[in-house]
Chains A and B, each alone.
Chain A
Amino acid sequence: MVIPLAWYLIVAAALFCIGLYGALARRNAIGILMGIELMLNAVNINLVAFWRYVRPQMLTGQLFAIFVMTVAAAEVAVGLALVIAIYRSRDTVNVEEIDLLRG
């Protein structure tokens, strides 16, 4: 294989950290959610790369990645529903303005 495994891992790590930045630094709840999706994609790159390079004869990594996508879909559906609910009641999806609870 021409491309070393470490290249994939480093791209995945970079994608994970970019997603993490988005999740931590965005004001908009949907923006945060998109950051989280990037993080999950980074994990999937890891899983598929490990599958290809470490254990190609067993399909564990690919199967795990498929499950991650399934879970991500369910999670996003609930998350966006929450965003829409909060938008209806407060007219904002800016996390800094969502601040009734504190103490």
Chain B
Amino acid sequence: MTLAKTLALLSPELVLLAGGLGILLLDMIWKDDEGKKDWLPYLTLVGLGGALAAVIVVWRGLGGGVSALATMLDVDALAMFICLMAVLVAALVVVFSVEFVRGKTPYRGEFYAFLLFAALGIALMAAATNLVLIYISVELLSVTSYVLTGYLRGDAKSNEAAIKYFLYGAIVSAAMLYGMSLFYGITGTTDLRGIAEFFSDPASMSELHWVVFAAMVLLFAGLGFKIAAVPFHQWAPDAYEGAPTPVTAFLSVGPKAAGFAVLLRVLIIGLPQFEADWTALLAAISIVTMTLGNVVAIVQKNIKRMIAYSSIAQAGYILIGLACLGADNYGLQGVLLYLLVYLFANLGLFAVVIAFSNATGSDEIEDYAGLMRRSPWLAAGMVVFFLSLVGIPPTAGFFGKVLIFASAIRTQSYLLAAIGVLNGVISLYYYFNVVRQGFFLPPKEAAPIPAAPELRVALLVCMAVVLGIGVFPQPFIQLAQGVARLLAI
């Protein structure tokens, strides 16, 4: 492959990288000019727009094929799908941050640059097909996330969240690495296709079965940490509560999507021969994850902590799709659609939380009392996003859940489907508690809640998408189906 073609295939990543470096540079040039620095978030959005265009061009150019680069990464529909999500997440989080970080930190420019680098990490994770690149891109995302979490230096909670997140993350990433080293020892290669090729000889499988299982569990520690699945979820509530809220919004969606993308690739490309093992493992983790997340969410008093547990539960639902992959990767379309829907619903929810905390300085659920009267738009948005997270029509979440549960029923995993539905009912309870506060209790203060224009736009976009997919699901289901089918070949 020529250099030009390689660079063209990597153009989304290169645009993100150039954008991040450009923002760092501009921030340095405009060192003392706070007025000019106000342009940085918008320039970041321009960079993300460029990345979006690059994703679309590359995706169309693929025409359903895969372009593998030097046993390191695959540029395929899955990579483009997740890269698209990374760009969308970063763009929405930039919009959330404009008002939030102004005045809270002297290092505004780097904040936006770091968001671009984090998006780059996600894009690379989604494309990587080699354990070496997987490890480095996971760490790129982790290190940027640690810094973003601890960005508010004067804020003791932000500090504490970052150090807990860091220590936890560093331990599980060492465990993941140990698993990777075992895979290398077993197969003599770090390339996922090479690993699959090694195991395609049945004789090699039986002798090394237990080592493979151990390596798989260790590898899952690192990815389970990224998607916040039990038992690697403990960092999430603290990191979510303490991090600057736009960063929390990022953490709840970005690393999760990337973690799932890596998990998909490792399992489907690298370890198809061990499907029975990882299916059982993932099913068990899925059940514990959704149940624990939902049950603990009930008792939370801080809305960011509640969303943390709810997003742990969401990871549990998505895992159902992976555990019930079925023939020609049917479960995969559920996973992909669910991730896309979850992105808009959760980020929309954070738009509400950020608007509320910008105006009142509080994240406590009891302070949401009377939200309806103080800001009908925020209250309405909140209801739409909650409905989507539970999976009630006419919101997008309904179709995400339908596809996920359909894959469970298709592979006759009725228990998984039943527990999933039951968990949906539990989640209604704590979401309704917030709605009750907002609609039926009298407000503590009467002052209306102003929202910055950027936030209002973000809120409306998320609402429009969540309702839009809910009413016209077909193109989005087809999109997910297309990606899933291509990966099955």
Contact = CB atoms under 8 A, between A and B. Distances in A.
**Physical contact A–B (CB less than 8 Å):** yes
**Quick one: which of B143, B175, B180, B181 has the most chain A CB within 10 A?**
B181
Contacts of A79: 146, 163, 166-167, 170
Contact of A101 (B135, B180, B241): B241
A9 B300 CA distance: 45
Contacts of B162: 82
B182 interface: yes
A98 B163 CA distance: 9
B374 interface: no
A46 B178 contact: yes
A86 B166 contact: no
A89 B156 contact: yes
Interface residues of B, number: 44
B135 A103 contact: no
B166 A47 contact: no
A3 interface: no
Contacts, number: 128
Interface in A8-46: 9, 16, 19-20, 23-24, 29, 32-33, 36, 39-40, 42-43, 46
A98 B242 CA distance: 12
Size band of the interface chain A makes with B: 35 or more
Given A46-B185, A55-B188, A82-B159, A74 B139 contact: yes
B189 A82 contact: no
B160 A75 contact: no
Interface of B: 131-132, 135-136, 139, 142-143, 146-147, 150, 153-154, 156-157, 159-164, 166-167, 170-171, 174-175, 177-178, 180-182, 184-185, 188-190, 237-238, 241-242, 300-302, 305
30 contacts: A20-B175, A23-B171, A29-B163, A36-B167, A39-B175, A39-B178, A40-B177, A46-B178, A60-B132, A61-B184, A63-B132, A64-B131, A67-B132, A68-B135, A75-B143, A75-B170, A78-B143, A79-B146, A82-B162, A85-B150, A85-B159, A86-B159, A86-B163, A89-B159, A100-B156, A101-B157, A101-B164, A101-B238, A103-B241, A103-B300
Interface of A: 9, 16, 19-20, 23-24, 29, 32-33, 36, 39-40, 42-43, 46-47, 49-50, 54-55, 58, 60-61, 63-64, 67-68, 71, 74-75, 78-79, 82-83, 85-86, 89-90, 95, 98-103
Given A58-B189, A98-B160, 7 more contacts: A39-B174, A39-B178, A47-B184, A55-B189, A63-B132, A82-B146, A95-B167
